[in-house]
Amino acid sequence: MDTATHVVMGIGLGGLAALDPVLSESSTSMQTVMVAAIIGSQAPDFDTVLKLKNNAVYIRYHRGPTHSIPAVLLWPLIVAGATYAFSPEISFLHLWIWTFLAVFLHVFVDIFNAYGTQALSPFNKRWVAYGVINIFDPLIFFAHIFAFILWRYGTPPGQTMLILYGGLILYYIWRCKARNNVIKRASYFHPNATHFFISPTFNWNRWHLVIRTKTQLHVTESRKGKLRYFETYPFEPIPNDEIINQARNDRNLAAFLSFSPTYRWVVKELENGWEVKFIDLRYRSKGYYPFVAVVRMRRDLTIYTSYTGWIYSDESLEKKLRQGEQLSK
């Protein structure tokens, strides 16, 4: 989920902690738990700092180690321990429990996005992405805001948040069923499909869907139960080609391939060399595929610039590639 949603979820858990009799007796304890829950709800995304290094490192590791099983156990100890130092009169066990819930909820809701997490790491490094909830879901966010308003004007915080999360559980169940219906419908038309890559949108009745068969990749959209086809590409292994093999040595393309499960590639001859471009098919937007990796090399296959990340115009991509070329000189 986005940062704002994680923040309101942290506040919501801080309010839900009012149901804990050990904490509710002390306003200081409640304030400490609120701080710990808010920080804990953000902790797994502290890896965003990797963007300061470069996109390749960020893409390879974001929602990876910091969302893994060891991290889910370690973050609460770090956050609870830090806040406990400022409020030693609180029950550390109960402080840890609510901090753990904040961290766990962060990772749990992230697996319902199309982006997903490596939540099963280190036992399984695959990305867990169910494609049920958009990265920002207005209903989830504004339901929290509405609950906070009720809380502000006198409703009991514990009971208010309990009702909120009970309703959101039902919402998630409904969205899971809606997602399954989309895949079931697509399976009817493509019974031999090997995989469905599904991405929700702001519109509850609209889903992005890439259908993989043994020979083809169909980029489609499901809207109100009907499939609309945009493009179809051949599905085949990355060829053992000298140009592509050299491009795969580049850190940006390597990061892209470590994350993207469905893509196509284009090799283009340039005046002074070659361009290899890999395009993630999951995020089609207004006819454009914004998540890409591009590697450019000279005739002797020396890489002189590359880029991976989210780009929404060819002009922006060219600008990024020129910046990369200048830095490599």
CA angle 46, 313, 253 (to 5 degrees): 55
**In this predicted structure, what is the pLDDT of residue 322?**
86
- Give the mean model confidence (pLDDT) for residues 151-175: 96
**In this predicted structure, what is the pLDDT of residue 324?**
73
Share of the chain above pLDDT 70, in %: 98
Both tokens of 19, joined, read: 């149901």
- Give the mean model confidence (pLDDT) for residues 158-163: 96
Which DSSP letter does residue 117 get? B
| Dmax (CA) of the chain | 74
Which pLDDT band holds residue 194 (cuts at 50, 70, 90)? very high
Q: Which long-range contacts (CB under 8 A, 24 or more apart) does 161-166 make?
A: 161/12, 161/13, 161/15, 161/16, 161/18, 162/16, 162/19, 164/12, 165/12, 165/16
Which pLDDT band holds residue 115 (cuts at 50, 70, 90)? confident
Give the separation between CA 231 and CA 64, rounded to whole angstroms. Answer: 31
**In this predicted structure, what is the pLDDT of residue 145?**
97
What is the tens place of the pLDDT at every residue in 206-227? 999 999 999 999 999 999 889 9
Does an H or E element contain 228, and which? strand 226-234
Give the separation between CA 49 and CA 18, rounded to whole angstroms. Answer: 33
What is the tens place of the pLDDT at every residue in 53-83? 777 888 877 788 889 999 999 999 999 999 9
Report the phi/psi class of residue 199: left, alpha or beta, with left for phi > 0 and alpha for psi in -120 to 50. beta
Q: Which residues of 124-159 are buried (b: 16+ CB within 10 A; e: fewer)?
A: eeebbbbbbbbeebeebbebbeebbeebeeeeebbe
Which DSSP letter does residue 211 get? E
Q: How many CB atoms lie within 10 A of CB 290?
A: 17
- Determine the angle formed by the axes of helices 3-16 and 27-42, rounding to 10 degrees: 150
Pairing of strands 195-200, 206-212: antiparallel
Residue 327 has pLDDT above 70, yes or no: no
Give the separation between CA 222 and CA 71, rounded to whole angstroms. Answer: 36
* Domain spans, the chain: 3-175, 191-234, 242-328
Amino acid identity of residue 145, one-letter, is I
pTM over 0.85: yes
- Give the mean model confidence (pLDDT) for residues 172-179: 96
Residue 328 has pLDDT above 70, yes or no: no
Averaged confidence pLDDT in the chain: 92
First-to-final CA distance of the chain: 38
